[in-house]
Amino acid sequence: MIGLLILFTFLAIITVALGAILSKDITQSVMLFMGVGLGSVVLFFIFQAPDVALTEAVIGTGLSTAVFLLGIMHTSQEEMES
């Protein structure tokens, strides 16, 4: 049962990562990258590493997504206003 969950999580991570690579829109790509982090949180938790899971949840899905989005906002300002 837990093996099935691990398998599905792996498949979801690979799907989301492919989507993040192939996506044309950079904001969408960042959001899908956050999905990769979310899947790895579940994997770390299943493999009994709650410390790493907590770190990944806070940094991988919280702060790094925010910093990416703020960076996109700063660099593409003219594009957004047109």
Distance of CA 53 to the CA centre of its chain: 13
Shortest Å, Cβ 31 to other proteins: 14
List residues binding other proteins (CB under 8 A).
Answer: 3, 6-7, 10-11, 14, 17-18, 21-22, 50-51, 53-55, 58-59, 62-63, 66-67, 70-71, 73-74, 77
The Cα diameter of the chain in Å comes to 52
Kindly tell me which of 26 and 59 has the beta carbon lying closer to other proteins.
59
CA distance 30 to 9: 19
Q: Which is nearer to other proteins, 17 or 31 (CB)?
A: 17
> What does the alpha-carbon distance between residue 6 and residue 41 come to, in Å, rounded to a whole number?
12
